[in-house]
Structure formats: structure tokens, C-alpha cells
A and B are shown apart, each in its own frame.
Chain A
Amino acid sequence: MDDSGPNRSVLWAAVVIGALMIGFIVLLATSESQQGAIIADRVVGTVPEPFEATTVGNEAFSTGDHRGQWVLVNFFAEWCIGCRVEHPELVEFNRRNQSEVQLVSVAYDDGASVEQYFRENGGDWPLIANDKDASTFALTYGVTGVPETIIIDPAGRVAAKLIGSNGVTAEALEEALGLQ
């Protein structure tokens, strides 16, 4: 056994282990998170093909018919609280900016109950509530949940994608689109 003086074996062990731990920590620190990757989905900035669908009133709707206006495609579900929170704001926004803006809602749900909701809570714009168009929409615009609002600029390019209802107020929308 060693006598007085620093305990060599412990010092060496400490150095080796210290180095290993540093390597380990660096590995962990530089590892990318697996979580964020799954949600990333870039559609903003692209000019997708005009989206064509049939509304609940059996009329045809196409985003291509509204070049020159801002088109807000709002993805909606009746059971979704955030959707219901932002809905009155969209109604107000639509009321104040009718000429510059065209809203359209797309619902995953059963058409009748969404229609009912729109009747009771306002929403005087096209409503698309059939499964086929809803999934094509999701495919085209990379929609992964509700509420989501795709903002298409007058030139047909996807300008922004709002995920969640937080911050969605009529004023904020107007400010973002430069419509005050």
C-alpha cells in the first residue's frame, strides 16, 4: 500500500473517469432532440396547387378563384377548444376586412354539427366538411392538428401557418397582414 502522499490510483481513476464523463456529457449535449423533428413540416413559402373542394352547401370552392385576396384556410373541429376560442376573432376579422380577405373553414368532423356551430356562432364563409377534401387539404398544406390556419397571400403563396389559437385575435391578424 502507498504511504503518505496523494493516492495515485484514486487520482488516475478520477482523471480517467472525469474524461469519460466529459465525453459522455458532450455526446448528450450535442445530440439533437428527437421530438422536434417529427413536427417539422415546411410548406410556408411554397405556392401549392389551388385547393379545390365542395362545401357543405354543395358548392364548389377553389383557392385559385381568390387570387388578389388574402385567403385564410382555417382548420376546425367542433370539439376543439382552441378552435372555439379563436372562432369569434375570425368572425370579427372577417367582418372588418371582407373585401381584402377570403376565409374558408375545413373541418374533420361530421358536417351537420359544424354547420350548426357556424349557424349559432357566426362564420359567413365557405365551410368544407367532407372527409375526402379534408384529407386532401391536410396532404397539401401539411396540417397536423387543430386549430391551424394557413394564410395564403394575394399571389397564391403560403405566407404563414398558425398553429394553435394562442394570439389569434382580429387585431393581431390585421397587423400581421398589414390591413389596419
Chain B
Amino acid sequence: MTEQMADGLDLTPRDLSPVTKKNWLPTIVLVVVGAAIIAVLFLTLGSNSLFIHNVDDAVADRIELGEQRFRIQGTPLSNIAEDSWESNDGIEAATVFTIRFNGVPADVAQLGSPAELFQPGVPVVLDGSWQNGTVNVDGGASDGWVFVSDNMVVKHDNDYRLENQERIANAERGGLE
């Protein structure tokens, strides 16, 4: 409570000082930092992502893919052999085989040792790129191109590869009528 007193002290109520404006600085800093983090995130994501192609797409898009590193998926055939591959770093031992998807084959040179459980008939995922050349495989694609891979992942799972659980009647059909 204020009073106006006569003796010189000026106690008239002053205008209430304006409500201190909310300090926007911390919020702005937070938003800028946040945006910077998100930008870095997406940039790093982009430069560290590999495109995935099945063999048929990878073969079809060979020209566009060029020397780009990507990931290929397919199922190895039984023509697995040991060979070597000559690259810029010299001659390296490689496991060579053919993978297939949707009827399209591709020859592969896997540098270093293949992954565990690597065997014909079990789908694999390989990281690498197309290179010109041939490898010594029986009954492979032999089209002058080889997928040279340095990372193999075998798609192992616990499922018995039963596409149709019940009876033959439900088996993949296409003209039994």
C-alpha cells in the first residue's frame, strides 16, 4: 500500500514495470542447436546408406550403378569355388560363386572368407560393387561382370523353409487345373 506523503518523499505509485519479456535466447539457441543436430544426422545418414538391390534389379541397372557401392541380395547356387581376384590392391584370395534372384544370375567374388553358414540355397546379402572381369565358376552368368564384395551376411533364420504349411493342395500353383 502506498500513500502520498507531504514531506518530499515521492511515493506516488509508479507504473508497474512492464512484465519482463520472456527471454527468447535460450529457446533460440536450443532450436538452432537442435536443427544443426538434425541436419548433421540426416547428412550422416545419407552418406552412410547403401542401396539394396536384388540381383535382377542390380543387373538391369548396371549402367546407372556404375562403380557405386551398394548391397545386393540373392541366393547362391552350388558352384562355389576358390579363386582369386585382381584389384588395385593386388591379387586377393576370393570365394567365387553365382547368386540368383527371379531367374537372373550374377557372378560374385567374395574377398576374404565367406560368412558363417554360407551354403548354396541360403540367401545372402553382399556389400560391394560391379567390376569388369570373369571368375572361374561352373554354369555361372559369365557375362563379363563380377560383383566384388567385401562384406557378406547370410540370412539365417530358424524357419524351416516351408512356404506352405498344410498340404500340397496349397502349394505354389500355376496351372495344375
Chain A residues with a Cβ under 8 A of chain B: 35, 37-45, 82, 108, 131-132, 134-136, 138-139, 142-146, 151, 153, 157-164, 166-168, 172-173, 175-177
Q: Is the CB of A131 within 8 A of B78?
A: yes
Contact of B176 among A143, A146, A153, A166 (CB under 8 A): A153
Q: Is the CB of A172 within 8 A of B169?
A: yes
Chain A residues, Cβ within 8 Å of B139: 132, 135-136, 139
Chain A residues, Cβ within 8 Å of B54: 37-38
Interface: B44 (CB within 8 A): no
Using CB atoms, name the residue of chain A closest to B101: A41
Using CB atoms, name the residue of chain B closest to A155: B175
Q: Is the CB of B103 within 8 A of A43?
A: yes
CA A138 to CA B165, docked complex, whole Å = 23
Using CB atoms, name the residue of chain B closest to A145: B121
Extra inter-chain contacts (4) besides given A160-B173, A164-B161, CB under 8 Å: A38-B123, A135-B138, A160-B171, A168-B168
Task: Please report which residues of chain B, range 65-122, place their CB below 8 angstroms from some CB of chain A when the two chains form the complex.
Answer: 73, 75, 77-79, 98, 100-103, 105, 120-122
Q: Is the CB of A160 within 8 A of B121?
A: no
Chain B residues with a Cβ under 8 A of chain A: 54, 73, 75, 77-79, 98, 100-103, 105, 120-123, 138-139, 155, 157, 160-169, 171-176
Q: Is the CB of A176 within 8 A of B168?
A: yes
A142 to chain B, nearest CB (A): 6
B73 to chain A, nearest CB (A): 6
Q: Is the CB of B98 within 8 A of A135?
A: yes
Chain B residues, Cβ within 8 Å of A158: 174-175
Q: List 12 A-B contacts (CB under 8 A).
A: A43-B103, A108-B120, A135-B120, A138-B120, A144-B75, A157-B174, A158-B174, A159-B175, A162-B168, A167-B166, A168-B168, A173-B168
Q: Is the CB of B176 within 8 A of A131?
A: no
A137 to chain B, nearest CB (A): 9
Using CB atoms, name the residue of chain B closest to A164: B162
